[in-house]
Structure 1
Amino acid sequence: MVKFASMITAERAARMVFVLFVLVVLAIAWTQGLRVGDDMMYRDALRDKRLFEYVAHRYQIWSGRFLIDATTVAMVQSVTLWRLCTTAMTTLLFGMLAYYLGAVRRPLQMAMLCAGLFLIDAEVARPAFWWMTGSFNYAWPLALAAVALLPFVRPDLPRRAFLLTLPAAVYACNHEQVGLLLLGLETVLAVWLWRRQGRLRAWHVLQMAVGSVSLITVLLAPGTSARFGVHTTYWFPQYLQLDMVERVFSGLQLAFGHVFAAGNPVTFLLAVALLGVVWLRSRDPIDRALAVAPVLMFSLPLAAQLIGPGRTEATRLLDIANFPAGSTGRDRFEEFWIGLAGNAVEPMLYLHFLFCCIGTLCIGMGLYRALATDARWGRGLAPLLWTAGICSTAMVGMSPSLYASGPRIFFFQDMLSLVLLCAVMVQLPHRDVRWLLLLTALPLAGVGIRAAIGMS
């Protein structure tokens, strides 16, 4: 047995892990199907309209995501086709992430990446991967964004490969969050290619231009304005009473709160991995204190509980610290929104915001130090991705659709956190420590798999 194990190369072991992951994804997808609500609406869309007529109508009254809507209407008609295609898209997404991370030759990192899908809170992952309508709006755009990013990582790609990334960029940028993330990251990489390597080509600029046009057609669509009117007139009329500072606070509260939410093991493991890297590399007390702070932040709900349920301040802090951990429904998300007058004068709300802000900054500084010597990341890319994940949630939190979309708005933040977790894991100096981190994650991933299957 030992001799057989020694014959398996690291690359082959990583491939075996990935194949197992694909089989698990396919098995879960096969338990999913049409759900009431949007799935049924899209399935029945072609009963009295043609595809072009329906998409054009949606573009005028509700949504600028014309490509995503067209794909949804066409694909939702066949559950079997969707199961196969969403498995393929999930495989594409995690395959591209594995390539960018270099996990194809690191079985432990590959295992953590694959397990990461099931570490994401089930209430976040379900609408992004396992809900038919949601998958076209979240998992698919992110997978194609990963493809569109390839020329900026491999500028020596042939022209045909460049051309294949153009439709991927168009579809990805048909989603506001993904489009802004993709174009922002491409801009940074384009500047790097131009100034440091002199390898920026016209095809890079063309892809960014095409993606920008796709994003602009969404942002300036009549349906986007119409939806804004519905949100601010009927659903959240108090939104128009907030000034810009309150809207920014609302967005950051949502993003910072999710970093340290009780149902978010991805960022918890990221904080633990950063603590391990810093503790084993540095003896500087300040560096170690900054690494310990985020881990302590996850104990905030426990600390509030230990203070005693009889203390009003502790109870209030406990409630806020658990917000918005995996609970669905608009009322739950509104509970600690600053737009409600009672919350605006709640001291515990601002104390929790301060703690989460400090913890988030500490993670960003830890990423800067942990990956500074990795040529794949450089000094600034990891903190930039961390900031991008925070901003992807915050910009939804600043909008009137703040609490109407549900927990799926955290999907992109969690996926970027997962990428950073896998990157930091490699920096742990001892293989035994990396194994310990993975073994901590696997039981949690098992719970996530059970939850995904139970959602059928």
Structure 2
Amino acid sequence: MLTRHWTRRDWLISGLILLAIFLYLTHFGFEPGTDDTFFKAQAAQFSIGDYLQWRYQHWTGRMVPELVLYYIFHIPLPIFHLINLGFIILLAYALLRITRQKITWATLCLVPLLVGYVNYAVLHDGFLWLTGAVNYLWPAALGAYALIPFADSYFGNDKIQHGWVYLLAGTAFSLINEQFLVCAFGISLVYWLGILHQRQRIQWLPVVNSLLFLAGLLFMYLAPGNRLRTAAEVKHWFPTFYDLTIGGHLRVGVSWLFTALNQNFFWLLLLLAVLALILLSLHRLRFIFYTGYLLFLAGYLVRPEIVNNFNLVNTTAWTASLGQFVLCIIPYLFWGGFLIVLLTNIILVAYRPVFLLLCCVAALLTSMIMWFSPTIYGSGNRVFTATAVLLVVVALALLKQVLAKYPRQQIRVYQLLMLLPLVNYLSHLF
């Protein structure tokens, strides 16, 4: 149901697309002065066993990335790009399977196109930078692939085949990235609640992968190096971190999150709004949502210095005047209103509204993990890779409905979708 026979033309087109992506990836290589330099030096200082033990005891429980990065900088760079290309394909395939779409060369292109609506800073740090790709693109692909059996079981009640492959993905994923693992474990809990509520049959693979997710979380959470790393990061990135109250964490975290949504996901959120609007059938509702979106765009374009000034709340004393307090909360009311309108629009038109609602909530929660991290300002844009992937899932689901509603407009839809991502990808090569 989700695959079809590929013709020679399909293979030729997909081969040309893969070649183009590979050539694009070759523009990115070893970056001196970043973590690339650190990892490249480790093979000369430690044996692999000593290195992994040292890192677990003194820094992190991410054993899979540590293992890969110990070796990856000592192989020809084109081989790394081929591996990275493989993970891009794996991510695209997995997200299509999760959203129950046919696997064709055209649909496989959708994921790179939709990711192109995310700010380039996130693309570079999470998908193109060597160390960033191993720590974020690879977990995204392995985690999405490990979750395919959950989607097949819940949405289609399909019998899971080739289970050992998903089991291998789940095993590797369980030791690769805490942020993605928390998200996947949360998804598995929601899955089990749904299975028990609907009294569907229980399949062994989701059980095993759920246990792997939990075991991996415990292994990484209990790593002795976490305490030492946190102390070092507080000293380097956020010396006043322990002085923050719960309210202080929330104030810093909320301003940081809204700033990130504005800077990194503006175009992707607008795309979601357009897709959701296209799917609205009632003219009265269309007028209401058109008005809401136009008001948002008007405020964004006319007074950006007010509606995007999220940091004002962090530089204003609690004893400030009422007028200053109003200016502090306007950006949050403005963007909060837009997000509520968008989420309502998505729920009204989605074929699986609860699923997409949970994806949107998970996209926010995976970012909110950073609220209580001393590297909230130090980790950079790579921490938004999980948010990007979850929002792409929402876009894929809505786009599937749009193409089903207007099947004769598929070529035009693809042409329109390509414009902004191509500019985003290519403008940074020159």
Q: TM-score, structure 1 length as denominator?
A: 0.81
CA–CA distance in 2 between the matches of 1:445 and 1:46? 38
Give the Å deviation of 1:231.
Answer: 2.7
Match of 1:450 among 413, 418, 426: 426
CA–CA distance in 2 between the matches of 1:15 and 1:113? 18
| Structural mapping, 1:113-124, within 5 Å | 113-124=111-122
Which residue identity is paired with 1:352? P
CA–CA distance in 2 between the matches of 1:343 and 1:32? 46
Give the Å deviation of 1:297.
Answer: 2.7
CA offsets, 1:221-260, max 9 Å, x none?
Answer: 2222222212323421222222223323433333334334
| Structural mapping, 1:321-332, within 5 Å | none
2:24 counterpart residue number: 28
Aligned: 1:41 with 2:41? no
Count, aligned residues: 413
Q: 1:337 to 1:320 in 2, by over 3 A?
A: closer
CA–CA distance in 2 between the matches of 1:344 and 1:149? 49
CA–CA distance in 2 between the matches of 1:15 and 1:255? 42
1:301 counterpart residue number: 300
**1:129·1:138 contact (CA, 8 Å) conserved in 2?**
yes
Aligned: 1:415 with 2:389? yes
CA offsets, 1:390-440, max 9 Å, x none?
Answer: 111122133221110111222221222122112212333335776655433
DSSP-derived class of the 1:44 partner:
helix
CA offsets, 1:260-316, max 9 Å, x none?
Answer: 4376321111112112222xx01334x6424653464344331206xxxxxxxxx4x
CA–CA distance in 1 between the matches of 2:380 and 2:150? 33
1:391 counterpart residue number: 365
1:320 counterpart residue number: 309
Which residue identity is paired with 1:27? L
Q: 1:202 to 1:109 in 2, by over 3 A?
A: closer
DSSP-derived class of the 1:440 partner:
helix
Aligned: 1:283 with 2:262? no
Give the Å deviation of 1:354.
Answer: 1.8
**2:259·2:308 contact (CA, 8 Å) conserved in 1?**
no
2:232 counterpart residue number: 230
CA–CA distance in 2 between the matches of 1:134 and 1:240? 28
1:187 counterpart residue number: 189
Q: 1:178 to 1:291 in 2, by over 3 A?
A: farther
Which residue identity is paired with 1:422? L
CA–CA distance in 2 between the matches of 1:204 and 1:146? 13
Give the Å deviation of 1:168.
Answer: 1.8
Q: 1:77 to 1:386 in 2, by over 3 A?
A: same
Aligned: 1:53 with 2:50? yes
Q: 1:366 to 1:434 in 2, by over 3 A?
A: farther
Aligned: 1:362 with 2:341? yes
Identity %: 19
CA–CA distance in 2 between the matches of 1:15 and 1:264? 35
Give the Å deviation of 1:15.
Answer: 6.8
Which residue identity is paired with 2:69? T
Q: 1:124 to 1:389 in 2, by over 3 A?
A: same
CA–CA distance in 2 between the matches of 1:339 and 1:401? 17
CA–CA distance in 2 between the matches of 1:295 and 1:274? 14
Which residue identity is paired with 2:373? S
- Tell which deviates more after alignment, 216-225 or 401-410: 216-225
2:166 counterpart residue number: 165
CA offsets, 1:331-390, max 9 Å, x none?
Answer: xxxxx285556699663332111221222222222221111xx2xxx3300011011011
Q: 1:362 to 1:301 in 2, by over 3 A?
A: closer
- Tell which deviates more after alignment, 132-141 or 242-251: 242-251
What runs of 5+ residues in structure 2 fail to find an aligned partner? none
CA–CA distance in 2 between the matches of 1:430 and 1:221? 52
Q: 1:108 to 1:26 in 2, by over 3 A?
A: closer
**1:144·1:171 contact (CA, 8 Å) conserved in 2?**
yes
**1:104·1:110 contact (CA, 8 Å) conserved in 2?**
no
**1:148·1:168 contact (CA, 8 Å) conserved in 2?**
yes
Give the Å deviation of 1:86.
Answer: 0.6
Give the Å deviation of 1:17.
Answer: 6.2
